[in-house]
Structure 1
Amino acid sequence: MGIVLGDNRYGKAEIRMVHVARSGAHELADLNVSVALAGDLAGTHLRGDNSNVLPTDTQKNTVYAFAAERGVGEIEDFALRLARHFVSSQPAIARAWVAIEEYPWRRLGPHSFARDGGSVRTARAVVDGDSEWVLSGVRELVLMNTTNSEFHGYVVDRYTTLPPTTDRILATEVSAAWRHGGTTVDFGQSYVDAVARMTDAFVGTYSLALQQTLYAMGGAVLADAGIVEARLVLPNKHHFLVDTAPFGLDNPAAVYHADDRPYGRIEGTVTREDTVDAPLAWDGYAL
């Protein structure tokens, strides 16, 4: 039985970069950039022939150079510039993925900032010949409703010990990404609007299941006509009511134990009915 080379890619992962735009009040971009390239690379795998290999160190330097030359701007646009460059400048490269995480800083003054510690903005650009896709997203968005959540009517078998409830804390740490229908987008405003609509949907949904809340949040993202698909992962951050009876105390749904594991993990995709699938846009992407 013969052995053949399958799908492969290579690149520079987690290029940490801070860019300061110094005109007027300083603007800070704190990024983690990852690049992956694919194409005519069989030679390096099969024979150690590196004639088609752009070194990963060069890829790192390209990220720095692009930021130095033209700044960063919206991270989706920066990812697109990089991905287009790698495909257009390297004849052997047919496909490029560029993924970016942007860490939040809160402004304290014209040139002073505090690390926010809030949610992380994400972006991904994929360029494959004449086709281009852009994903925007967010992770570490922690949300909680202290009521308006129930869970009952589920399957019960011999191993079930969980009691049904008509009032519980619902908390999650959202990881979400959404695909744009084009690349000419005001990505900054689109991101702000998508996160706001998704958050409002979490707040405003009387939840009978976290799956129901996920669908409402995904649908809210698609309220932007330019967004064609949204994928979400919602871990269920469990909060269990503490039994204070042994202390001779009542606990009227006031004191909870926050349990970090094990946890439920709810995943889902919400799309428009006429959306054309774009597997390359999500290839290798993990929420």
Structure 2
Amino acid sequence: MKKILKIILPLILGGFLVWYMFTKISPTTLLNYFKNANYGWIALGLFFGVLSHLSRAYRWKFLLEPMGYTPRFINSTLAVMIGYFVNLALPRAGEVSRATVMTTYEDIPFEKGFGTIVAERIADLVMMFIIIGITLLIQFEFIIKLVKANFDPIKIAIGLVAVLVAVLFFRQYVKKSTSGLGLKVKNFVNSLVEGLTSIFKMKNKWAFIFHTVFIWTMYVAMFWATIPAIKGLEVPFGAILVGFIAGGFSIAATNGGIGLYPVAVAGAFTLFGVPEEPSNAFGAIMWSAQTAMIIIFGGLSFLLLPIFNKNK
């Protein structure tokens, strides 16, 4: 039942958010935006997206080589695309399928392949935090004004103190825990630290770090390049970063961000005074382009794997 709910609930949430989006922009209006979009810019954005996926597949070898495995680049690429494809249907199952592909076609033990994928995710999590930090620095004055305009400073101060006290108590609880939630949090933090330190100990750490930065630069570039596809849509750089972050978190919340991605991106843009209607249209077009790319390349990857590995 728990596994079924993990699949069903995100789909239900996604369906509800699709309905919610259509309360902000009618299907007919949205269709007109799709018809009038500049697909040259969308293609450029998808090009950046493809580069990020190729870089991710290449980066993988830096984690596998120390264990004595040198997979073919084509198999790494196809495994990465299959992972994204599976995640559209079953959230977080893509990592399992990606490791399984390498077990089947490269004879890499599942546990070792999966472990390297977890290490990758840790590096990606750090990059997301770095982008959030950069965004906070760039938009510090705007965020302060936004908070002051919408919240009572005294209540904010009380809330921050309460959060700090709660964090300190929870930290002590986690330190002393030997079972339950506290132990899970402790193990997660320890794995996070271990994964980060292992990156700096690997032989090709600078190449790994370069590809990690490149992958996330391409993610942002894909988002930025698609904005001119909507005629007349002008989005300041700060809004682009905030929208990118909101969209990134939405992908983890529902299957590939279905329903939530356009709503999250539009919500971020409107904070900066960008009109709501084109913001929703951009979110829908951006999500559709990303999803179409994953479905096409992921589907092709399933077909091409046995062709490129006839001996298997």
TM-score range for the pair, normalised by the shorter chain length: under 0.3
TM-score, normalisation: structure 2 = 0.25
TM-score (norm 1): 0.26
Structure scoring higher RCO (CA < 8 A, sep ≥ 6) equals 2
Is the helix fraction higher in 1 or 2? 2
